[in-house]
Amino acid sequence: MPAHVHFWTRHPEAIEPWDPDTEPGLHLTAYGHAFLELFHRMRADGRSVTIGPVIARKTSSVVVSMEELVAHQPQIPARMTLRLGAALLRARRRPAVVVLRVDTELSVRAPMFTTLEAMPTRASVHRSRQRVLPLLPQRGLHPRDASRGDSLRVIALKAYSYNVPDWMGPDFIRALNDLGLSLRIDTERDGRWEDFTDVDAVLCTHPARADPLSKPPTKLVAAWRAGAIPVCGPYVGYLETGRDGETMVVASSDSAEDYLDALRTLSRTPQLSERVRSALPAAAAAYAPDRVLRLNWEAFIAAPRLRFLRVIGAVLLAAPGAALSRLRRVLRTNASR
């Protein structure tokens, strides 16, 4: 029987029409980027895919979003394991079960019946069922204007407002100005997140509270595809993916002083900036959407089939917890009336 991949989700917006290219501002979450967009692009590419809470009978692989399963809890709630397990037991075939995780904490365990777990970094891979799969690149980018040539004047940070580093304040900006550089901080609040047209280099930082092994190199790849030189902190995802002095410039630590040192070297070494900038197109090509789709599809259809005994065991273990959780919700609802 031909391969068929089903994207299991309970979110109602998943069944609504969406073109990521014409409406890039929708679904700006890990679920939207790594799961929902992947489904829509695979379907547009002519691949045999379906989506929703009911697994199609012809399914050979089921894909699930870890971000949906965990729902911001310390571990996957029992009710989510029960719902997914029940959907799998109703399936007519023994499909593979692929769990996609983007930046969920590594302490959160995937369901015991998972047969392929997509991990964010190579350093986070510890089990035979785990492997790194490339994420789709950030959509809707406005690349750097080629007429800027070798200019190195505008430095940007692209981050959620709550992830802007504390050290990126007036002292850092003054030090940048002394180097002849200006800083642009683009967050979700100003609508410039995708705009790299006048950006010469990008600071790729990580939230201080984040587990470095759980963060994929999305900022690095976005910089490559936008044509801006990435200046990165020494984080695992960046060090595994790029090459210092070739496809990025790495700061010695995540501090104002070391980012300034990296930028100082970059601004005073024209051959370095020229070498890195010329390498960006080839680096970006590894994350071209068609290649990402192909690699993910091949991994999905090659994943091992699940064992129903594992699903039954997980359902039996989850059922009491799910029932207790439901009872608590009912009691809270009654108490609030």
Question: What is the per-residue pLDDT for 331?
Answer: 54
pTM above 0.85, yes or no: yes
Per-residue pLDDT, 194: 93
pLDDT of residue 189: 86
Q: Band of the pLDDT at 326, cuts 50, 70, 90?
A: low
Exposed (0-12), middle (13-18) or buried (19+): which is 235, by Cβ within 10 Å?
Answer: buried
Once rounded to an integer, what is the mean pLDDT over residues 136-149? 95
Query: Distance between CA atoms of 218 and 128, rounded to whole angstroms?
Result: 24
Three-state secondary structure call for residue 230: strand
**Would you place residue 333 in the very low, low, confident or very high pLDDT band (cuts 50, 70, 90)?**
low
How far is 110 from 127, CA to CA, in rounded Å? 12
Which helix (H) or strand (E) segment holds residue 100: the answer is strand 96-100
Average pLDDT, the chain: 92
Q: What's residue 8's pLDDT?
A: 97
d(CA 16, CA 33): 15
* Lowest mean pLDDT across 204-208, 222-226, 228-232, 260-264: 204-208
CB distance 205 to 187 below 8 Å: no
Q: What is the pLDDT of residues 83-138, one digit of tens each?
A: 999 999 998 789 999 999 998 999 999 999 999 999 999 999 999 999 999 999 99
266-306 residue pLDDT tens: 999 999 999 999 999 999 999 999 999 999 999 999 999 99
Given this model, what pLDDT does residue 118 score? 98
pLDDT over 70 percentage in the chain: 94
Instruction: Note the pLDDT of residue 88.
Output: 95
